[in-house]
């Protein structure tokens, strides 16, 4: 198994291309928004309109779908209906805000019943894109402060998502145990190996925790690349622009039979795949 791993991962074959919540109807049958005749209307004015409308949509959709998620959180199994509402929330945000997007997924990634998904992180838009793109039952880590956001954060608590306080490193072992429990319950895990959003758009150094989880549980790692999201909403910006975003899923990278000593090589392999998918 280790020999096969060190031979590298074969070339990605993007075999399945989906328009996950197509914007064709929103834009009158076009894939992306048609060019706007400026007629004296500047790009900054159009961005202002998109931003004001976008935040109205975000606040309204978060209240509506967050409330529905809370009201149905008692229905077993825990978190199943949250994912339904979270995906509906994601589709609503992307389509109503007029953000063109598509999902490209390899056949192997679609067929994986359970995996550790690892994605780059460059924008707030990454979250709705990933909710739309990941079809498996998934849980992910999020900053503890997000769990106190009305409606959205409360429903995340109810659904069993995992809060992380980066300032309390002594809790890392507890978080790891919680992740293993989620895996044992049959859920996939979404990890941002950079740990936080990239301010420059360049891929930052990876942290080991997600890779150790994959090795310990034997789950394959599915590399994911989100492209264009930073142009929609920048890492340190609240401005919204209606530009295309793409999310690409590569082939699963096996971890069964690997040991902790293989962590560094595994990290480099996943990093190369994410960079390649992003390009």
**62 in a structural domain:** yes
- Enumerate residues 6+ apart whose C-beta is below 8 A from 135: 110
Predicted TM-score (pTM) of the model is 0.81
> What CATH number does the domain containing 64 carry?
3.40.1130
Contact status, residue 126 vs residue 119, Cβ threshold 8 Å:
yes
**36 in a structural domain:** no
Contact status, residue 218 vs residue 26, Cβ threshold 8 Å:
no
Counting the structural domains of the chain, the total is 1
Q: Tens digit of pLDDT per residue, the chain (279 long)? A: 444 434 443 433 333 344 444 333 333 333 444 444 545 557 788 889 999 999 999 999 999 999 998 888 888 887 788 899 999 999 999 999 999 999 999 899 999 999 999 999 989 899 999 999 999 999 887 778 778 888 777 878 877 788 777 666 656 777 778 888 888 889 999 999 998 888 777 889 999 989 999 999 999 999 999 999 999 998 778 899 999 999 999 999 999 999 999 999 999 999 999 999 997
**180 in a structural domain:** yes
The pLDDT score that the predictor gives to residue 175 is: 79
**1 in a structural domain:** no
List, in sequence order, every beta strand (DSSP E) within the chain.
Answer: 16-18, 101-105, 116-119, 138-143, 162-164, 188-191, 221-227, 245-249
């Amino acid at each position: 198994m280790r020999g096969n791993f060190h031979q590298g991962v074969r070339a990605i074959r993007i075999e399945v291309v989906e328009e996950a919540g197509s914007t064709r109807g929103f834009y009158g049958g076009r894939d992306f928004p048609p060019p706007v005749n400026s007629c004296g209307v500047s790009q900054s004015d159009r961005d202002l309109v998109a931003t004001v409308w976008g935040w109205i949509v975000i606040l309204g959709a978060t209240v509506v779908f967050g409330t529905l998620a809370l009201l149905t959180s008692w229905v077993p199994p825990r978190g199943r209906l949250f994912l339904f509402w979270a995906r509906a929330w994601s589709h609503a945000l992307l389509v109503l805000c007029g953000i063109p997007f598509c999902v490209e997924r390899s056949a192997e990634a679609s067929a994986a019943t359970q995996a550790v998904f690892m994605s780059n992180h460059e924008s707030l838009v990454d979250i709705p894109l990933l909710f739309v793109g990941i079809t498996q039952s998934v849980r992910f880590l999020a900053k503890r402060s997000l769990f106190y956001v009305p409606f959205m954060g409360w429903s995340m608590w109810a659904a069993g998502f995992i809060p992380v306080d980066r300032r309390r490193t002594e809790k890392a072992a507890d978080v790891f145990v919680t992740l293993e429990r989620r895996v044992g319950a049959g859920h996939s895990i979404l990890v941002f190996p950079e740990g936080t959003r990239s301010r420059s758009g360049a891929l930052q150094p990876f942290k080991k925790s997600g890779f150790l989880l994959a090795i310990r549980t034997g789950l394959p790692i599915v590399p994911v690349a989100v492209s264009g999201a930073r142009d929609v909403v920048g890492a340190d910006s609240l401005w919204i622009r209606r530009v295309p975003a793409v999310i690409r899923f590569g082939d699963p990278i096996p971890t069964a039979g690997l040991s902790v000593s293989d962590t560094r090589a595994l990290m480099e392999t996943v990093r190369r795949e994410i960079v390649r998918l992003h390009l």
